Chains A and B, each alone.
Chain A
Amino acid sequence: MAASLLGRLLRATLSEFVVGTRSTALGQGAQFGAMVQANIGAEADFVLYGLIADIRIPEDQLVRQLSLAPANPREVLADQHENRIVPVEIAVRTIGYKTPTGEIVYLLPPQPPLSLTAIRPVGPQALLAFVQAHPQPGYLRALVQATDIPLADLLTTHLRQVHQALPAETRDAWLHNAVRYLLQLLRDDYERLAQVLESLRFGGLFRE
């Protein structure tokens, strides 16, 4: 059974894409750091994977005016959240793809998804299949190479999610391996490395 629809693609490049959805979808897998998937082209088995790097709720004039009210009645809030066609934009960073033969590749895809492609959250099984496809989590390069994302928090949030999804007997080893890989990637960028380590600490991924 297909995972629930998160939204549809508004625009895309090879390294990132933006999903449009309603505010009511925010509770259905649209969370910072969550993994999502989209089909590339017409083939159902050619799947692109990405991590949610930002969620934007654009301003509009009516919302701005309503924000000036001392209190908004429940009916008005419900109307704004559930009825108004004000799309929420979810920015997703591409981290790899799966070919029709089932091979998982930690590279940019051959082409971006098409407009209005359905974007769906990735379930725990598919998440673990992706992150464990290779000995090293090479897909993290895509995040480190990006310049306009909250790298430290995104990495930490993603690693936490994977850590929680893994079986207890393997999660620490996987996390240890992922952090060593990150240290290697960021060894020449002390500033960002320090931010990532600090974020990992606050994310509870370092035992005291």
Chain B
Amino acid sequence: MPIDWAALYRQAESKIQGLAEREAQQRLAREQALEHLRAWTPREARETLQRVLVAHPDLARNVRTAWPIEDDIRLDQGRCPGEDPSAGAGEALGEAGCPPPQDPRVTIRAADGSQISPDHHAPVYYGLVNLAAVEMRPGQTPAILRETQLYTEADLVDKENDVAYIASMRDVGELRLLGARISPGQTGYPQIGLLDGPLEFWRRGAGEQAMQHLARTYSTLLAQWVERGMVIAGYVDRPRSATVVRMLALLDMVQQGRLSLQPESGGPVVRPSEVYQHWPGLTDATLWLTVLRPGQRSPLFRTWVPVTPDPQRAPGTHPHFFYFRLPHGRGLARVDIPEAVAQAPHQVDLLHRALWHQVHLIPERYYPYVLIRAHEEAVVRYAEREQVEALLLRLWATYRREWVAASDKARLKHAL
């Protein structure tokens, strides 16, 4: 079906013209949010927000937000790797940001995964998860651990959402590989574990029994690695979350008198949607790009997760995060960490220093080297996918003595 180019042109012209007005609104929203970032102390912001959530259960159940946990760093301030918070404000940082990285002398391991999702229209119905972990130790050749797992119809028949199941198996596998033994013995260096993406388990198809089991497995693994002393983190590139923005929105509403801090005060009711639409389109990244210099991290935040208390969440694993400014205009990353790491300032600083070092290993890219390598080792390329399918077809024909073909829909798609 050919595209209606006339209609497309009219739509594109209208939307692009509308961007200028939207940008003006966002600039205003950003300035309003930054005012609050500058005005509130961490303690005031935290205590006020906690009172709001207590006083307004509907907001507590439906608004994902966060509050700062460090009282020795202002909300509109950043911190360089290795910076001594007790040293007081030193010289203002220039545009270049924090000093060049030093090798932090840590063992840093990254795990990543790739999958082939089940396709009901393919000749053979299967799923595949390919995992890899890359561990860098000072002075040694990095070690690589790989794992491939095939899922056939027998493994997937009772899963309501097989595509989500495969994706979740990948997530669990990545976390498991983060703590698996690659080479014997302790390294003697502090150990950092890095995942590419959020640290929280994304509950696809939350009600399903299989997914519940995977969520518990994930939580158990996270607790194990935390217990082992691993500084574990999820690295989120180009974050689009607005968790801190919503904190500032709630504080703004309190200041405006729209939100009472007293439970059941009979005052104005704010719907969760109003919090989300208070500054539409404004993200945390927009704020921190203004505040942070390259290399700096934001204050630490504890996430408020708007669901009923999670009995599966093990101690020390509650999600926290900070933002990390990358060099040379590369934007920001959000770094998710469990509570146990967030409560250990030396571990946070170690992680910060390690990331600052890692992103400098590949100039012009400024992405952690170890994550790039883990992705490279895990990714299933299209050519490999075809080879997997060819192998399965051959085995199917050999052992079942029958030939299978793709569905008519799949064949039509390929023909086009």
Contacts and interface: CB of A to CB of B under 8 A. Distances in A.
Physical interaction between A and B: yes
Contact of B376 (A62, A72, A74): A62
Contact of B361 (A76, A78, A82, A84): A76
Interface in A25-54: none
A111 B364 CA distance: 48
Contacts of B29: none
B136 interface: yes
A75 B140 contact: yes
A79 B103 CA distance: 17
A73 interface: yes
Contacts of A69: 360-363
Contacts, number: 44
A96 B206 CA distance: 67
A62 B374 CA distance: 13
Contact of B141 (A65, A66, A82): A82
Interface stretch (B40-48, B243-251, B365-373): B365-373
A82 to B, nearest CB: 5
Interface in A54-86: 62, 65-66, 68-69, 72-76, 78-79, 82-84
Interface in B326-382: 360-365, 369, 372-373, 376
Summarize B's interface: helix, strand, loop or mixed.
Answer: loop
Nearest to A74: B139
A75 B362 contact: no
B99 interface: no
Contacts of A79: 134, 136, 141-142, 373
B363 A83 contact: no
Contacts of B373: 79, 83-84
Summarize A's interface: helix, strand, loop or mixed.
Answer: helix
B163 interface: no
Nearest to B369: A76
B141 A78 contact: yes
Contacts of A76: 361, 369
Interface residues of B, number: 20
Nearest to B140: A75
Contacts of B140: 75, 78
B142 A78 contact: yes
Nearest to B136: A75
Contacts of B365: 65
A45 B295 CA distance: 63
B103 A83 contact: no
A83 to B, nearest CB: 6
Interface in A119-134: none
Interface in B218-239: none
A116 to B, nearest CB: 14
Nearest to B372: A62
B141 A73 contact: no
Most A-side CB within 10 Å, residue of B103, B134, B372, B373: B373
B280 interface: no
B137 A75 contact: yes
A79 B372 CA distance: 12
A79 B137 CA distance: 11
B205 interface: no
Nearest to B139: A74
B138 A75 contact: yes
Nearest to A76: B361
Most B-side CB within 10 Å, residue of A62, A69, A76, A79: A79
Interface of A: 62, 65-66, 68-69, 72-76, 78-79, 82-84
Interface of B: 103, 134, 136-142, 144, 360-365, 369, 372-373, 376
Closest 8 CB pairs of A and B: A78-B141, A68-B363, A79-B142, A65-B362, A82-B141, A69-B363, A75-B136, A65-B365
